[in-house]
Amino acid sequence: MRTTTRAAGVALLALTAVTACSSGSGDTGAAASGAAAACEPAGEPVTLTFTSWIPGIEDVVALWNEDNPDIQVEVQTGPNGNGGTYQNFFNQLEAGNAPDLGQVEYDALPNFRVQDGLVDLSACDDVVAAQDEFVDWTWQQVQLGEDDAVYAIPQDAGPMALFYRADLFEQYGIEVPTTWEEFATAAEQVRATGGYITNFSQADVNQFAGLVWQAGGSWFGNDGDQWTVDLTSEESEKVAAYWDDLIERDLVSTYPGWTTEWDNAYNTGEVWTWNSAVWGANSIMTGAPDTAGAWRVAPSPQWEDGGESAGNWGGSTTVVFQGTEHVYEAAQFALWLNTSEEALTALIEAANLYPATTEGAALPALAEGVEFYGGQPIYDVFAEASTQVSPDFVWGPTMTQVYNDVSDGFSTAISGDQTLPEALAEAEESTVAALEAQAIPVAS
């Protein structure tokens, strides 16, 4: 009796933010969802393990542990996904000792799915009921093309906009570009002053993917029978040719991203803009502290005059890994972490996350002006961008390999030995080969 009331209490707590919820009790519908894992409460206290790299996540989880003595969550932290944590996850899944919950970015979800690493949470009624709370495209990303499946709970999004040095643009009388054409013209003007308008980091292939996303392209398709790989679509080639031209004419710098050298280029004012995701706001603050107050945020340049399209870079989810014995409890925690006002406010404050729920994105913590950006309420720009992100972009099942191969190709291109479109064509070939090596059906 006591455990059931507790479980009900937990369910209620997780649902505080749910408005369009019909019923939070009962999980008897599990069998109907086919492959979906059963979602039954354990009926006894459980301890879950959760691996994440979000700074300050321990404090957020501590809030949950305080209120939920029967579902205790132990946090392990590691480097960011491609920095090593994904590799650990894959190894742990192979060894059968993966944590119950993990932090996984949208672009890596198909990769884990194809290794059979993710639990389908669609048997959990609370999870299904939470769909309406999330921004459409984020939910689309966790369904992986299956109508009834839910492979992760979206946590944050990375809608993209243009961070720019307002002071420098003003000082040299250069207009802040609103289209990519203007951006190229401005690039010439900026170069004439000795600086670079932006940096092209060959290893940030997911940023490049965000630019293709904005242009309306998609790199992958999955019709249920086979995958299509389309790194060389018209949109993708257009974006590649555009940047190839800028690199060729030495109008953009090419420092490897996330390095001291790169920080230095921004901190000294050598590089003027960064077309980046909302979480990039934090990266500039820590990487270029000397430029405080000089930055502003504008919508990303558009391909067409007056266009309204935004790309997305990054953003992650909370997944439940195969091998867990507590799907129900894990789902409850994941929902609380990513929908409750309490958790989201803590995440915003600790890590500048931009929530994937519509209510989360409207939290007071995001409405204020940001001092580093001259008091501009920058999140308004990203809120606008978030509604303009296309839901149709599909990630492939071997993104780690795709990123490596595209990045290697880009690196050759930066050295001047080939072009960016050629690099994409090569990576498309190697990606098809990589899918075949994993016995993943692919249209060639």
Partner 1 sequence: MTTAVVPGRRRAPRVTHKRAIAVFVAPFATLFTLFYLVPIGYAVYQSTLVVEREGTFGPPTQVFGGLAQYAQVMQSSAFWDSVLRVLLFGIVQVPVMLGLALLFALLLDSPLVRGRRFFRLAFFVPYAVPGVIAAIMWGFLYSPNLSPFRPVTQSVDLLSADLVLWAIANVVTWVFVGYNMLIIYSSLLAIPAEVYEAARLDGASQVRIAWSIKIPLVMPAIILTAIFSIIGTLQLLAEPQVFRTFSSAVTSTFTPNLLVYSTASVPNVPLAAAFSVVLALATFVLSFTFLKVTQRKAFQ
One-letter amino acid at 231 equals L
| Closer residue to partner 1 in complex, CB, 142/144 | 144
**Residue 315-354 contact track with partner 1, rule CB under 8 A, x = bound:** ----------------------------------------
Distances (CA, A) of 425 to 16, 109, 157, 232: 49, 24, 29, 6
Among 27, 74, 341, 408, binds partner 1 (CB under 8 A): 408
One-letter amino acid at 218 equals S
Residue among 324, 391, 343 at smallest CA distance from 37: 324
Q: Are 145 and 224 in contact (CB under 8 A)?
A: yes
| Closer residue to partner 1 in complex, CB, 86/373 | 86
Among 65, 76, 77, 87, binds partner 1 (CB under 8 A): 87
Question: Which residues lie closer than 8 Å to 36 by C-beta, 6 or more apart?
Answer: 30, 120, 121, 122, 123, 148, 149
* 51 vs 93: CA distance, rounded Å: 13
Among 41, 210, 311, 397, binds partner 1 (CB under 8 A): 397
The answer to whether 81 contacts partner 1 (rule: CB under 8 A) is no
| Closer residue to partner 1 in complex, CB, 158/397 | 397
| Closer residue to partner 1 in complex, CB, 201/302 | 201
DSSP letter string over 263-298?
Answer: HHHHHTTSB-EEEEETTHHHHHHHH-GGGTT-EEEE
| Least distance (Å) between residue 255 CB and partner 1 | 8
**Residue 257-296 contact track with partner 1, rule CB under 8 A, x = bound:** -xxxx--xx-------------------------------
Residue among 151, 155, 146 at smallest CA distance from 121: 151
**Residue 359-378 contact track with partner 1, rule CB under 8 A, x = bound:** --------------------
Among 233, 358, 400, 418, binds partner 1 (CB under 8 A): 400
Residues 216-245 within binding reach of partner 1 (CB under 8 A): 222, 224-227
Within 13 Å, how many C-alpha atoms sit on residue 273's CB side? 28
Q: Are 158 and 275 in contact (CB under 8 A)?
A: no
- Number of other CB atoms surrounding residue 128 within 10 Å: 17
Q: Are 167 and 294 in contact (CB under 8 A)?
A: yes
Among 168, 411, 425, 429, binds partner 1 (CB under 8 A): 411
* 277 vs 338: CA distance, rounded Å: 19
Residues 163-182 within binding reach of partner 1 (CB under 8 A): none
Among 115, 143, 189, 387, binds partner 1 (CB under 8 A): 115
Among 3, 8, 12, 94, binds partner 1 (CB under 8 A): 94
How far apart are the two ends of the chain, measured CA to CA in Å?
58
| Closer residue to partner 1 in complex, CB, 208/303 | 208
- Number of other CB atoms surrounding residue 9 within 10 Å: 13
* 127 vs 336: CA distance, rounded Å: 11
| Closer residue to partner 1 in complex, CB, 62/433 | 433
Choices 7-15, 39-47, 90-98, 128-136; region in contact with partner 1 by CB under 8 A? 90-98
The answer to whether 53 contacts partner 1 (rule: CB under 8 A) is no
| Closer residue to partner 1 in complex, CB, 94/308 | 94
Residue numbers of the site for partner 1 (CB under 8 A)? 86-87, 90-91, 94, 110, 113-116, 144, 146, 201-203, 222, 224-227, 254-256, 258-261, 264-265, 397-398, 400-401, 404, 407-408, 410-412, 414-415, 417, 434, 437-441
